[in-house]
Structure formats: structure tokens, C-alpha cells
């Protein structure tokens, strides 16, 4: 299941993670618990975390549909499936930054002026290369997160977002620690759907109970470096259900497309 948010779920087709052609509309019955075992984020814990939503009327909580990460003062990284329908109208998107609480008075809304969708999104399998960049109308007063450049195996990862909790969508982002799942085990869990070159997995294979879910799409998967800093290694992409044993969450692997991402950012800087 592609992990869309409240604002997009009702009208969007989603991939079930079984085959590239298995699609169905999200209904209320599809919304499974998020971050079981997780907890609300504290202010300042994820300063580069943003919500992505539609411009127009309504509160940020009502308009937010996906997550993203500030990777430069004017660029946000998110999932391609979150914004692919906005390619012809990127100015219909905004980001919400400055707080983990979508009802906070400190929240800042910034317009999006352009969008770069991964050119090989959906190749070689349905949700491969699930990444996109948003160019902001003006710089945000946020220190960008450092992005992973080398593929690696990890022990424990961390994810954060405003996704479904089983009791609705929270206004305060929640975070959860996730065991790393190696490519072989993830391929066994999702035969024919998992691509180890462009994806990585995290979750408790045996017990389930910890995962990202609907509404967390585009948000970060994090790993600590040798200095204890949070490094962006993945983007919330898809999974079969949420927090189910044997069905880990699947994430776009940032190290795979880091060069293409830099090229796109350089193109914007050069006015292309």
C-alpha cells in the first residue's frame, strides 16, 4: 500500500505492494495503526521535518497529506507518489515547517514554485525511484538535514510523520524506532515487488507492531552517523498494510539517487 495522507487518500489509487497492477482506492477500513510503540515528537527534535499539502483554505492539519525533509534552504525532498499529480500545477502545493504540531502558532507556510519528479519513477518495478524535489518560493529558516551518500546496512532506524494512528491523524508528528531489514529478507517478503537497488526496508519482521503508515509518505527514514547525528537514508514509500508481521515498511533508498538529486538542484540554481 502506498502511504498517502488524509488529503489525498480519498481520491487516489494506491499500489497494494502485491503486483504492480494491483491497485484499489483507500477506504477508511484500510487505515492501520501507525508507530505502535512510538511516541509524539518534541519541538526541535526534527527541525527539518515538513508537512506537504495543498494551498487554499483550511487549517494546515486539514490540508497536510505527506511529509518531507528540508535538504537545502529552498528544496524539500519527498516521495514521488505524493506529488506526481501536481507536476502540471506545482504552485498548488505548500509546505508547513517550524513545528512538529500542525496546529502550532509557530508553523510557517511556504509556497512551492517548481517540482522535479524522478525521471525513472516506477522503473524497474512499480514503486522504484519514489522520490521528488520541491523548489520553494523563498528560503526557510531551517538548517537542512544531512543526506546519506553511501549505501550501508544499519541496525536501528528511525521514522517520523503525521500518519494514521488508528484513531485518526495526529496534529503532532510521531516517531518510532525500526529494526533494519536486509534486502534478502525484504525480497522474500515482497517477491517481484521489492528492488534492492532503489529500496530498503525497516520493521519488525517477526512481531510487527512498529511501522510507518498512511499519511507518512515522503517523510524521512533516519540513521545515526558516527557522531550521533541524524542522517537521511530513506523516504517513506509503501508497504503491505501497516505494522503487520512479515510485511516491513519499504523506503526509497537515498544513496541510490543522490547524484540525480544533486543534478536537479544544480539545474534549478542554473535557471534550467
Q: Looking at the structure, do residues 171 and 183 belong to the same domain, yes or no? A: yes
Residue of 151, 6, 145, 167 lying closest to 78 (CA atoms) = 145
pLDDT at 2 (0 to 100): 60
Q: Looking at the structure, do residues 151 and 117 belong to the same domain, yes or no? A: no
Taking the alpha carbons at both ends of the chain, their separation in whole angstroms is 35
Q: Looking at the structure, do residues 263 and 133 belong to the same domain, yes or no? A: yes
Q: Looking at the structure, do residues 114 and 229 belong to the same domain, yes or no? A: no
Q: Looking at the structure, do residues 56 and 106 belong to the same domain, yes or no? A: yes
Count of alpha carbons within 13 Å of 74, Cβ hemisphere only?
13
Q: Looking at the structure, do residues 97 and 12 belong to the same domain, yes or no? A: yes
Q: Looking at the structure, do residues 10 and 114 belong to the same domain, yes or no? A: yes
Q: Looking at the structure, do residues 133 and 156 belong to the same domain, yes or no? A: no
Sign, CA dihedral 72-74-76-77, equals negative
Mean pLDDT over each residue of the chain, to the nearest integer? 86
Q: Count of CB atoms within 10 A of residue 230's CB?
A: 17
Work out how many domains the chain is built from and give that number. 2
pLDDT at 36 (0 to 100): 47
Q: DSSP labels for 167-219?
A: SS--SB-EEEEEEEE-HHHHHHHSTTT--TTTEEEES-TTT------TT-TT-
Residue 217 appears among annotated catalytic residues: yes
CATH of the domain at 19: 2.40.10.10
Q: Confirm whether 1 is domain-assigned.
A: no
| pLDDT of residue 92 exceeding 70 | yes
Beta strands in the chain (DSSP E): 13-15, 23-25, 39-40, 49-54, 64-72, 75-78, 93-97, 108-117, 132-136, 146-147, 156-161, 174-181, 199-202, 220-224, 230-238, 249-253
pLDDT at 30 (0 to 100): 38
The 10s digit of each residue's pLDDT in 142-189 is 999 999 877 777 889 999 999 877 667 889 999 999 999 999 999 999
Output b/e per residue, 110-136; b: 16+ Cβ within 10 A: bebeebbbbeebbeebbbbbbbbbbbb
Q: Looking at the structure, do residues 89 and 162 belong to the same domain, yes or no? A: no
Write out the residue range of the structural domain in which residue 159 sits. 146-255
Residue whose entry in the numeric block shows the C-alpha cell 532503489: 198
Write down the pTM of the prediction: 0.88
The 10s digit of each residue's pLDDT in 246-259 is 999 999 999 999 99
Catalytic pick from 217, 237, 240, 247? 217
Q: Looking at the structure, do residues 134 and 249 belong to the same domain, yes or no? A: no
Cβ–Cβ < 8 Å for 121, 128: yes
Q: Confirm whether 37 is domain-assigned.
A: no
Catalytic pick from 65, 116, 127, 130? 130
Catalytic pick from 65, 81, 97, 240? 81
Q: Count of CB atoms within 10 A of residue 143's CB?
A: 10
Residue 150 appears among annotated catalytic residues: no
Q: Confirm whether 38 is domain-assigned.
A: no
Q: Looking at the structure, do residues 175 and 239 belong to the same domain, yes or no? A: yes
The 10s digit of each residue's pLDDT in 26-76 is 333 333 334 545 789 999 999 999 999 999 999 999 999 999 999 999 999
| pLDDT of residue 77 exceeding 90 | yes
Residue of 69, 38, 44 lying closest to 233 (CA atoms) = 69
Dihedral angle at the C-alpha atoms of 170, 209, 45, 57, nearest 10 degrees? Answer: -20
Amino acid at each position: 500500500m502506498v502511504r498517502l495522507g488524509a488529503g489525498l487518500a480519498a481520491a487516489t489509487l494506491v499500489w497494494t505492494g502485491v503486483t504492480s497492477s494491483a491497485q484499489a482506492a483507500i477506504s477508511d477500513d484500510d487505515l492501520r495503526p501507525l508507530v505502535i510503540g512510538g511516541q509524539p515528537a518534541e519541538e526541535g527534535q526534527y527541525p527539518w521535518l515538513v508537512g506537504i499539502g495543498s494551498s487554499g483554505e483550511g487549517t494546515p492539519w486539514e490540508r497536510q497529506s505527506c511529509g518531507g525533509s528540508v535538504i537545502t534552504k529552498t528544496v524539500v525532498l519527498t516521495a514521488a507518489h505524493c506529488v506526481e499529480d501536481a507536476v502540471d500545477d506545482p504552485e498548488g502545493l505548500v509546505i508547513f515547517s517550524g513545528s512538529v504540531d500542525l496546529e502550532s502558532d509557530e508553523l510557517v507556510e511556504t509556497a512551492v514554485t517548481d517540482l522535479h519528479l524522478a525521471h525513472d519513477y516506477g522503473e524497474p518495478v512499480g514503486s522504484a525511484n519514489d522520490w521528488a524535489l520541491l523548489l520553494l518560493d523563498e528560503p526557510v529558516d531551517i538548517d537542512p538535514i544531512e543526506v546519506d551518500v553511501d549505501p550501508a546496512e544499519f541496525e536501528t532506524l528511525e521514522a517520523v510523520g503525521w500518519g494514521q494512528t488508528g484513531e485518526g491523524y495526529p496534529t503532532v508528528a510521531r516517531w518510532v524506532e525500526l529494526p533494519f531489514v536486509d534486502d534478502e529478507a525484504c525480497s522474500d517478503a515482497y517477491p517481484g515487488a521489492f528492488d534492492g537497488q532503489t529500496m530498503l526496508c525497516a520493521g519488525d519482521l517477526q512481531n510487527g507492531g512498529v511501522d510507518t503508515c498512511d499519511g507518512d509518505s515522503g517523510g524521512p527514514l533516519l540513521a545515526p552517523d558516527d557522531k550521533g547525528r541524524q542522517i537521511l537514508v530513506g523516504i517513506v514509500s509503501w508497504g503491505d498494510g501497516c505494522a503487520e508481521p512479515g510485511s516491513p515498511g519499504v523506503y526509497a533508498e537515498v544513496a541510490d539517487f543522490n547524484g540525480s538529486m544533486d543534478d536537479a538542484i544544480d539545474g534549478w540554481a542554473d535557471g534550467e
